[in-house]
Amino acid sequence: MEKNSSLIYLKSVTNSDVEFLFDLLKERDPRANISHKKMPTYDEHVNFIKSKPYSKWYIIFKSEQKAGSIYLSKNYEIGIFLSKKFQGKNIGNFALNELMKENPRKRFLANVNPKNKKSSRFFKNNGFKLIYFLFQLEGKKDKNLKPYDKREIKFYKKNGYKLLSHVYMFEKNS
């Protein structure tokens, strides 16, 4: 992708980004994460990158420095993480808009852990709407609920259902 006048741009992930991505992964809070409950080994991480798990995967640059990463899954789900020193500077907003502009779709999704308040706020502030929660009772089937199903949500919580760590699904239509 072309460099922007604000010096923020996206570049496709390559093998030379493995170490940066591993360091970035180390910064993430596993309690607020949906993709990694525990830190993978370096070899597991390398194999993950080699598997090309996403439809599109970019490194986010700010003034020639690697600032974070953003991806679009094969199901049109967006994941983004910026290194702590680059957070809160609108870099994520630019990267999200650039990703959506370069990969047009009718609809984009984002799975967010409900404990990850920053990520929930980020997607809401960028026009995404919460479309459902996911509850699960051990040994039982998952239950998808719309955010406005307050009565049903209360019923499931009261009857032992727990929010899964990856419960919030956000959507943005183009």
pLDDT tens-digit map of 106-115: 999 998 887 7
Q: What pTM was computed for the model?
A: 0.80
Structure confidence at residue 163 (pLDDT): 54
Residue intervals of the chain classified under CATH 3.40.630.30 are 1-105
The larger pLDDT score, comparing residue 89 to residue 3, is at 89
H or E element, residue 23: helix 18-27
- Of residues 147 and 95, the one with the higher pLDDT is 95
Tokens of 92: 């994520």
Q: Which range, of 62-66, 90-94, 143-147, averages the lowest pLDDT? A: 143-147
- CA 9 – CA 62 distance, rounded (Å): 7
Give Cα separations from 19 to 23, 26, 29, 99 (angstroms).
6, 11, 18, 23
Pick the CATH number of 1-105 from 3.40.630.30, 1.10.1740.10, 3.40.50.1950, 3.30.460.80: 3.40.630.30
